[in-house]
Amino acid sequence: MFSFGIRMDAGFRLAGAEDAEEIARTVQENLGGELSPKKISASLVKEKLKDKKDVFVVAVTDGKIIGVSRASFEDLDLAEIRWLAVEKNYRNKGIGTGLVEKTLEALKDKGKRKITARVRADSLVPLSIFSRLGFEKEGYFREHYRKGVDIIQLGKFL
């Protein structure tokens, strides 16, 4: 269990298959609409956990998962942070930042050289978290995944 400069009693750890249900619920409830119409199911999470091409980090308080980060291996030493979600009641306490810090540490341990993240251009909070952790804007995609929604790609070298 790790705890970074966060403003509540929570810990961060790599996820295991036993966490799939809670991860699916947390992501579906806090990020679902953003991602795709298809439901984020526990079986999808279990599949991703099994194929070892993803790193899942969870934030836990009182034994309950309150935040999730998922990064996928894109290439030899390149990975992308794809999911970042914290339960509404636990936001603005440093959990989101802690999840990204722990994910970067885990990806460094796995020999990754560069990490990217794609964020809605109007999502100030995740943009401020990634910028504060040393990510730099490196791409702007107009109405990329959705009509009316621009995307910023950020990148960081480990």
Ligand X SMILES: CC(C)(COP(=O)(O)OP(=O)(O)OC[C@H]1O[C@@H](n2cnc3c(N)ncnc32)[C@H](O)[C@@H]1OP(=O)(O)O)[C@@H](O)C(=O)NCCC(=O)NCCS
**Chain contacts with ligand X (rule: CB under 6 A):** 30-31, 84-86, 91-97, 119, 123-126, 128-129
Beta carbon nearer to ligand X, 17 or 125 = 125
Beta carbon nearer to ligand X, 20 or 116 = 116
Minimum CB–partner distance for residue 154 and ligand X (Å): 9
Beta carbon nearer to ligand X, 23 or 95 = 95
Beta carbon nearer to ligand X, 41 or 131 = 131
Tell me which residue has its CB nearest to ligand X: 96
Cβ atoms of 50 and 37 within 8 Å: the answer is: no
Burial letters 25-38, b for 16+ CB under 10 A, else e: bbbbebbbeeeeee
Minimum CB–partner distance for residue 140 and ligand X (Å): 15
Minimum CB–partner distance for residue 100 and ligand X (Å): 8
Minimum CB–partner distance for residue 97 and ligand X (Å): 3
